[in-house]
Chain A
Amino acid sequence: MTPTSLMGDRSTAKGTDRARRARSVTAVLMPGDGRPSRIGAAALVVALAIAFVAPLFVDSVFQIQVLTNTFLGAALAAGLVLSLGWTGLLNLSHGTMYGIGAYTTAVLVADHGWSFVASIPVAMALAALGGVILGLASLRVSGDYFALVSLAFTIAIFEVFRNWEAVTHGVEGFLDIPTISLFGQVLSGFKPGYYTTLILLVLIVGFVALLTTTFAGRAMLAVRFDPLAAESMGINVLYTRLLSMGLSGALAGIAGSVLVATVLIIEPNNFNLIESFNTSLWVIIGGMASLPGTVFAAGIITFAMGEFQFLADYSVGLIGIVVLVAVFLRGGVVRDLIEEIMVRRRVRREVAERA
């Protein structure tokens, strides 16, 4: 018997158990069949409802602020899922695109008298352009080397934020951006900021969920897992990479605009290397190509850091530990947990059905 047929035997031998496992996670992992499960959809509706009414019951300014930061972190990570998760480019510059969006809105609104709404498309376009320019590096380098290029990009743009005094106001940044309103509603302050950020989160997650469940999402996954196969099927690999980088950038850009509208203060340190790096880590911890995993991971970590100051003090070290765990559970901690829960539920149900 040849070794290849041995391999065939082995896969049929463990077929039934693994087959069940695979079917049960279809909804979580596979964009083509990406209808959310009934439980997933119900959980989403309940979570949203709670999020929308929470400020009615929570009076603590501190708690509202922690939740606002949680939504912002989750929204950023959700946008990064496209390039880092789906297309597999090790993009560590999401915080930089976020900064480009924030600075664009701040400069246009505070220094040039633009309306907030008019500044958003410009912020998104410039952040998308940043993503596309960085994406062009994928022509020359791939994998870990792309990560290094993106780190260099992050540092370079950070220096621009700090030193281009005439436009960015240098290390001081923008301290008193005039209050921004939309439809007569002021967006800054604790509760308006909370709702504005929540709406941003819903928009970005919705965008990514809709896009990743199309043929373009499948093309991105094909480019990530096997660029050669993707090419042989007529997929323009470079364009697909630039598309994902551009869209990730645009989503970071609008998040930056919203940050400006909700806090009215920005400084270069909001967009330093650590901030960029953190967002990428949330996607990696969340499971690379898992939107729910990423949003949960980003949300839970930001929330915990906000709630417990001692966690934030040791954040770099703690995240290091989480990354080590994530690397060992290659699929991503949160996604593995979700899969495990879903598999157990299904097995329990099947056992119950048989009994």
Chain B
Amino acid sequence: MLEVRGITKSFAGVKALDDVNLTVGDGEVVGLIGPNGSGKSTLVNVISGFLAPDEGDVRLAGQSLIGMKPPAVRRQGLVRTFQNLRLIEPLSVLDNLLVGLHLVYTNNKGIYWQWLPAMLRTPGARKRDKVARELAADALEKVGLSDLAHQRVSNLSYGQKKRLELARAIALEPRMLLLDEPTAGLEPGEAHELMALIAEMVQGNRERGLLLIEHRLELVVDLCDRLVVLDSGRKVAEGEPAAVAGDPEVIRVYIGDEGAHDVVES
């Protein structure tokens, strides 16, 4: 389970996050919502080790992640996706998944020597490769991209790329998954399809914690067990989705910024 305690982060004197507390239990789906610029992505960057907080602690299953670099955080079993896609465009869909399964090949080590047996194609290395390829095939199947396994990523549509990023994130069955606006940039139809896929994934694995970052409230209300609302770096509401969606403070935050996100989104 993920515990975020008292995280504060400032950029040039501006507080991007101000004493943020958050927990995601095992098997729990927590929605982190808030308008653009409210600090959602900064929080993801802090949790996943890309940014060091000024104050506060992040723990995964009791182990503090503060001071760990992103690869170390990943090895602890926490996976994040990026709001703007980070796929390796010149590689094939399958290769991107296999890159995401790096830890299968290295037995979860940062400094890896397994390139030597892999190069010599030893039985052990072949077995690891087979395991990785099976995991990759399963993940592709789950997001419906099996037919495109050998396509170059640069040939995929934006929606397909979003699915691929999702597949890469779940391929190794992380114990904590952070999805940073998985539907950003998708049209409403595609966005709903992707959320349905995420809901299916949640059904399929009841152990994994999921922190879902989104700024469109209507997409996450049904899926999440709990919602946390950020505004200007501060937590302004938390609770049952229905209750949070009716909270006057949340409505103020959203209605007040409604015009603003439409501009940013388009």
- B residues 149-178 near A (Cβ < 8 Å) are 150-152, 154-159, 168
- Beta-carbon contact of A11 and B157 below 8 Å: yes
Q: Give complex CA distance A47, B189 in Å.
A: 55
Looking at B10-18, B92-100, B210-218, B229-237, the stretch in contact with chain A turns out to be B92-100
A99-120 contact mask (Cβ, 8 Å, vs B): 1 or 0 = 0000000000000000000000
Q: Give complex CA distance A234, B100 in Å.
A: 8
Q: Give complex CA distance A2, B187 in Å.
A: 8
In this assembly, does B261 line the interface, its C-beta being within 8 Å of a C-beta of chain A? Answer: no
Given A226-B86, A234-B75, A239-B111 in contact, is the A33-B157 Cβ separation under 8 Å?
Answer: no
- A residues 80-99 near B (Cβ < 8 Å) are none
Given A26-B150, A30-B92 in contact, is the A8-B103 Cβ separation under 8 Å?
Answer: no
- Beta-carbon contact of A229 and B86 below 8 Å: yes
Interface-centre pick from B119, B156, B168, B265 (highest chain A CB count, 10 A): B119
In this assembly, does B105 line the interface, its C-beta being within 8 Å of a C-beta of chain A? Answer: yes
- Beta-carbon contact of A222 and B88 below 8 Å: yes
- Beta-carbon contact of B102 and A235 below 8 Å: yes
In this assembly, does B186 line the interface, its C-beta being within 8 Å of a C-beta of chain A? Answer: yes
In this assembly, does A352 line the interface, its C-beta being within 8 Å of a C-beta of chain B? Answer: no
Q: What chain B residues lie within 8 Å of A23 (beta carbons)?
A: 150-151
Nearest-neighbour CB distance to chain B for A293, whole angstroms, equals: 14
In this assembly, does A311 line the interface, its C-beta being within 8 Å of a C-beta of chain B? Answer: no
- B residues 45-78 near A (Cβ < 8 Å) are 48, 50, 69-71, 74-75
In this assembly, does B202 line the interface, its C-beta being within 8 Å of a C-beta of chain A? Answer: no
Q: Give complex CA distance A2, B158 in Å.
A: 13
- Beta-carbon contact of A8 and B158 below 8 Å: yes
Nearest-neighbour CB distance to chain B for A320, whole angstroms, equals: 27
Nearest-neighbour CB distance to chain B for A34, whole angstroms, equals: 10
Given A228-B86, A229-B86, A232-B48 in contact, is the A243-B115 Cβ separation under 8 Å?
Answer: yes
In this assembly, does A171 line the interface, its C-beta being within 8 Å of a C-beta of chain B? Answer: no
- A residues 210-231 near B (Cβ < 8 Å) are 210-211, 214-216, 218-219, 221-222, 225-226, 228-231
Nearest-neighbour CB distance to chain B for A316, whole angstroms, equals: 31
Q: What chain B residues lie within 8 Å of A236 (beta carbons)?
A: 71, 110-112
Number of B positions contacting A (CB below 8 A): 56
- The chain B residue with its CB closest to the CB of A5 is B187
Q: What chain A residues lie within 8 Å of B82 (beta carbons)?
A: 228-229, 232
Number of A-B contacts (CB under 8 A): 150
- The chain B residue with its CB closest to the CB of A7 is B158
Nearest-neighbour CB distance to chain A for B124, whole angstroms, equals: 13
- Beta-carbon contact of B92 and A33 below 8 Å: yes
Q: What chain B residues lie within 8 Å of A215 (beta carbons)?
A: 98, 101-102, 105-106, 114-115, 118, 129, 132
- Beta-carbon contact of B95 and A232 below 8 Å: no
A41-84 contact mask (Cβ, 8 Å, vs B): 1 or 0 = 00000000000000000000000000000000000000000000
Nearest-neighbour CB distance to chain B for A342, whole angstroms, equals: 14
Q: What chain A residues lie within 8 Å of B168 (beta carbons)?
A: 233
- Beta-carbon contact of A229 and B112 below 8 Å: no
Q: Give complex CA distance A211, B114 in Å.
A: 11
- The chain B residue with its CB closest to the CB of A22 is B152
Given A30-B92, A210-B119 in contact, is the A233-B99 Cβ separation under 8 Å?
Answer: yes
In this assembly, does B226 line the interface, its C-beta being within 8 Å of a C-beta of chain A? Answer: no
Given A215-B132, A232-B48 in contact, is the A32-B95 Cβ separation under 8 Å?
Answer: yes
- A residues 1-18 near B (Cβ < 8 Å) are 1-5, 7-8, 11-12, 15, 18
Given A210-B119, A236-B71 in contact, is the A29-B185 Cβ separation under 8 Å?
Answer: no
Nearest-neighbour CB distance to chain A for B93, whole angstroms, equals: 10
Q: Give complex CA distance A113, B51 in Å.
A: 55
In this assembly, does B32 line the interface, its C-beta being within 8 Å of a C-beta of chain A? Answer: no
Q: Given B86, B99, B129, B156, which contacts A11 in the complex, CB threshold below 8 Å?
A: B156
- Beta-carbon contact of B112 and A33 below 8 Å: no
**10 closest Cβ contacts across the A-B interface?**
A216-B115, A229-B86, A234-B74, A214-B118, A32-B95, A215-B105, A22-B152, A231-B70, A4-B185, A236-B110
Of the A-B pairs whose beta carbons lie under 8 Å apart in the complex, a sample of 21, sorted by A's number, is A3-B266, A4-B187, A5-B187, A15-B157, A22-B152, A29-B152, A30-B91, A30-B152, A32-B92, A214-B105, A215-B101, A218-B91, A228-B82, A230-B99, A231-B70, A233-B168, A234-B103, A235-B99, A235-B102, A236-B111, A239-B111
Q: State the B residues within 8 Å of A (CB).
A: 48, 50, 69-71, 74-75, 79-80, 82, 86-92, 94-95, 98-103, 105-106, 108, 110-112, 114-115, 118-121, 125, 129, 132, 150-152, 154-159, 168, 185-187, 190, 265-266
